[in-house]
Amino acid sequence: IQNIAVLTSGGDAPGMNAAIRAVVRACSFYNLKCTGVYRGYQGLIEADFEPLDARSVRNTINRGGTFLKSSRSEEFKTKEGRKKAYENLISNNIDALVVIGGDGTFTGGQLLSKEFKFPIVGIPATIDNDINGTDFTLGYDTALNTVVEAIDKIRDTASSHNRLFLVEVMGRDAGDIALNSGIGAGAEEILIPEENMGVERLIESLRKSKKSGKTSSIIVVAEGDKSGKNIFELAQYIEENMDEYEIRVSVLGHIQRGGSPSCFDRVLASKMGVGAVEALMDGKTEIMIGIDHQKVVHVDLLTAIKGEDKLDKELRRVADITSV
Ligand code: F6P
């Protein structure tokens, strides 16, 4: 292997730049060429390439987003799109690819690798933490800290006005952000996609905590919660069914995806980037670089995207006990 390309794809995540940097620097360390691909798989189809050297990635470890840009490419979902991408890789003398992203990114990478026997290694980067075979994905820790900081601020105003706040956090299919930030920020209730506690039980629990002397409350609601109501409908329902509180809604949205990565994410990105280049040099393909008890592990790409629910169930119990 002499020339490794690197791209970021799907929803961006803090730490992506640090991962690109580690890939580029590892290539430089091992005297390999490195090629940056702009705009994810779309850039691969359009040959939007730029050679990167160790100095191209200066001052990037601390920056949020991805300087290579990202996209969700519809064309890459077609075999013709992937063929164009493959041909561009070959005609630019690229012989391996590192893809940084979440499950959509790995699905595309796995197909490209299998169809054209092209070496591909993935680095898990998504604030959702919903990838199998790794304790953490890049960006998750930073997003959690952003969310907790935001909820701390909401708590100040909630408690000044004796209000109930519903705070929506990201996570279409995974409740990791909601459950962990909810515990970290001391939320009274946490609604996650993995389970539906039912609105009746929610109201009952809110009444109980009000009776126990609470004057304000915070409910963290994951974007994909299964109550069957969106956060505004949920707020209305609570308002209609209990008059103990004045209610407000706050949707945190994309601030959760931005910002300078935490030190944890920077170190994780550095380990994973080096791990990806070394795996390719060892002849590995169709794998993801995961972290298991601080050690770099290789996980089959198909296993990584299996979509199993890896939420730590113990956290639900802890949340219930500490919010009493
Ligand atoms: O997968 C990351 C994520 O931020 C999810 O939590 C969220 O549901 C989704 O991306 C939002 O995607 P977009 O930025 O395309 O609206």
Question: Is pLDDT above 90 for 313?
Answer: no
182 marked ligand binding residue: no
Evaluate whether 284 touches 121 at the Cβ level (below 8 Å): yes
Report ipTM for this prediction: 0.96
Residue 263 structure tokens: 């030190």
pLDDT for the residue 308: 79
pLDDT in the model for residue 54: 98
Is 257 labeled as ligand-binding?
yes
Any known ligand binding at 55?
no
The phi-psi region of residue 311 (left if phi > 0; otherwise alpha if psi is between -120 and 50; otherwise beta) is beta
138 lines ligand 1 (CB under 6 A): no
- Cα of 109 vs centre of ligand 1, distance in Å, is 19
Active site residue 128: yes
- Quick one: which of 74, 75, 113, 101 has its CA closest to 13? 101
User: Choosing from 12, 48, 128, 176, which is the catalytic residue?
Assistant: 128
CA dist 211 and 248 (Å) reads 20
Q: 127 CB under 6 A from ligand 1?
A: yes
The pLDDT of residue 311 is above 90: no
Q: Do the beta carbons of residue 291 and residue 135 sit within 8 Å?
A: yes
- Examine the pLDDT at 259 and tell me if it is beyond 90: yes
According to DSSP, the residues that pair with 296 across neighbouring strands are 291
Q: 46 C-alpha vs ligand 1 centroid, how far in Å?
A: 24
